[in-house]
Amino acid sequence: MYTVAAAALPTVVAALLTWASWRSVRAGTSTVVYLAGIAGWLVLLQGLSDVSVLWNSQVPSTGPDWLTRLAVTVSVGLGLGVVLGAGRLLLRGRARTPVTA
């Protein structure tokens, strides 16, 4: 029971952060980039924990092997893309901020 809850925790946190990010966009606040970066990081970590299914011939899952490999590939790609995009937006926003003495 606890193992299933621990395995599902990153997914639940990513879903909650995605919801909070959506609410932030609707409210017009500037926290959306941070929330998206954190959600992307969680999705990336979830995919990286299972990345060994991409090169192992035996996949420890009850479903089809191709579906497991697809899920890991999508989560790693999507997570990395969101993290890099959020980082780029944060750096671009920081570069535009005028420096006052």
Burial 39-50 (b: 16+ CB within 10 A, else e): bbbbbbebbeeb
**pLDDT, position 97:** 47
Q: Rounded to two decimals, what is the model's pTM? A: 0.66
Is 99 part of any domain? no
Is 28 part of any domain? yes
Is 101 part of any domain? no
34, 86 in Cβ contact below 8 A?
Answer: yes
Q: In terms of residue numbers, what domain contains 20?
A: 2-91
Number of domains in the chain: 1
pLDDT block averages, 10 residues each, the chain of length 101: 71 76 74 82 85 84 85 92 87 59 52
